[in-house]
């Protein structure tokens, strides 16, 4: 079985985002960019399925600027077999990403597509579900466990009240949640080896997908700032203040 793992290049999760003074977005000039952490979990899960003998080939895909090659090389260094970069400098919305991935899925015929549940830049949480709709496949979102059993996959999902398990017919879409696994670091020899793994470059037009945005960003602003209150000296003062607010047993 082949597994497709889409990965997105985003602002590194350790970098504090800064809103640009002109309100057009978040400043991405000269800041560290990395693979979306949820996508890293997706790559790791695909590699584990290959190590278990369930998967035979892992194809990493990224839709983004030329520099997204670095993100794909990271996936290759972790253990993906080959990569496809759908190169564009435009911001591509989840619906258009899902359409491109649908075209790639048609060509590659994977048994599973494992995506991050959301990208930590625009926090949309849409692409996996949209791809599932376009392919007509079943979806197991917010996964904390994935088990392939014959022609189906059982996915344990993190839901509001706890956990839920669904059984999906393959091929299927899985989106990862944080506790699915802990991604490995690529070793130096694997980083070297990744440089010679195949990486194809395509464009959205190759897949016949129009990436013109449907949603216009009018402006981006700083969130309202919450100011610090007071420090109390001891528990007695805290109790008094809470009681004054009506908080008591």
Positions 31 through 90 that interact with other proteins (CB under 8 A): none
Asked if 150 interacts with other proteins (CB under 8 A), we say no
Q: For the CA atoms of the chain, what is the radius of gyration?
A: 21
The nearer residue to other proteins, 51 or 149, going by C-beta atoms, is 149
The nearer residue to other proteins, 32 or 226, going by C-beta atoms, is 226
Q: How far is the CB of 32 from other proteins (least distance, A)?
A: 14
Strand 199-202 versus strand 82-87 pairing type: parallel
The nearer residue to other proteins, 15 or 191, going by C-beta atoms, is 15
Restricting to residues 98-117, which ones interact with other proteins according to CB under 8 A?
A: 98
The nearer residue to other proteins, 1 or 120, going by C-beta atoms, is 120
Q: Total binding residues for other proteins by CB under 8 A? A: 78
Asked if 192 interacts with other proteins (CB under 8 A), we say no
Asked if 147 interacts with other proteins (CB under 8 A), we say no
Q: How far is the CB of 114 from other proteins (least distance, A)?
A: 16
Which residue in 171, 117, 127 sits closest to 148, CA to CA?
171
Asked if 132 interacts with other proteins (CB under 8 A), we say yes
CA gap 17, 149 in Å, rounded: 42
CA gap 123, 52 in Å, rounded: 32
CA gap 65, 25 in Å, rounded: 17
Q: Which residue has the tokens 């077999």?
A: 81
Which residue in 134, 129, 100, 112 sits closest to 42, CA to CA?
112
Helix, strand, or coil (residue 145)? strand
Q: How far is the CB of 192 from other proteins (least distance, A)?
A: 32
Q: What is the 3-state secondary structure (H, E, C) of 153-174?
A: EEEEEEECCEEEEEEEECCEEE
Asked if 179 interacts with other proteins (CB under 8 A), we say yes
The nearer residue to other proteins, 84 or 168, going by C-beta atoms, is 168
- Scanning 56-64, 77-85, 167-175, 198-206 for contacts with other proteins by CB under 8 A, the matching segment is 167-175
Contact flags string 9-28 toward other proteins, x per CB under 8 A = --x----xx-x------x--
Q: Which residue has the tokens 């001891």?
A: 234
Backbone angles phi, psi at 18, to 5 degrees: -120, 130
């Amino acid at each position: 079985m082949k597994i497709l793992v889409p990965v997105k290049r985003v602002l590194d999760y350790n970098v504090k985002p800064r809103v640009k003074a002109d309100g057009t977005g978040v400043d991405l000039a000269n800041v560290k960019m990395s693979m979306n952490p949820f996508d890293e979990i997706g790559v790791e899960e695909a590699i584990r399925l290959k190590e278990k003998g369930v998967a035979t080939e892992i194809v990493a895909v990224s839709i983004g600027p030329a520099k997204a090659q670095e993100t794909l090389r990271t996936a290759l260094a972790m253990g993906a077999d080959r990569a496809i970069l759908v190169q564009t400098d435009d911001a591509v919305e989840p619906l258009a990403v899902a359409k491109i991935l649908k075209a790639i899925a048609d060509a590659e015929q994977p048994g599973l597509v494992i995506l991050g549940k959301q990208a930590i830049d625009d926090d949309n949480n849409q692409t996996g579900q949209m791809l599932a709709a376009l392919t007509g496949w079943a979806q197991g979102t917010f996964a904390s466990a994935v088990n392939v059993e014959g022609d189906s996959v059982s996915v344990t999902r993190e839901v509001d009240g706890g956990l839920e398990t669904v059984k999906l017919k393959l091929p299927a879409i899985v989106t990862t949640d944080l506790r699915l696994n802990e991604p490995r670091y690529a070793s130096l020899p694997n980083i070297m080896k990744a440089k010679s793994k195949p990486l194809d470059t395509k464009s959205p037009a190759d897949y016949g997908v129009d990436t013109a945005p449907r949603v216009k960003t009018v402006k981006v602003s700083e969130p309202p700032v919450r100011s610090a209150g007071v420090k109390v000296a001891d528990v007695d003062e805290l109790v008094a203040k809470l009681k004054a607010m009506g908080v008591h047993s």
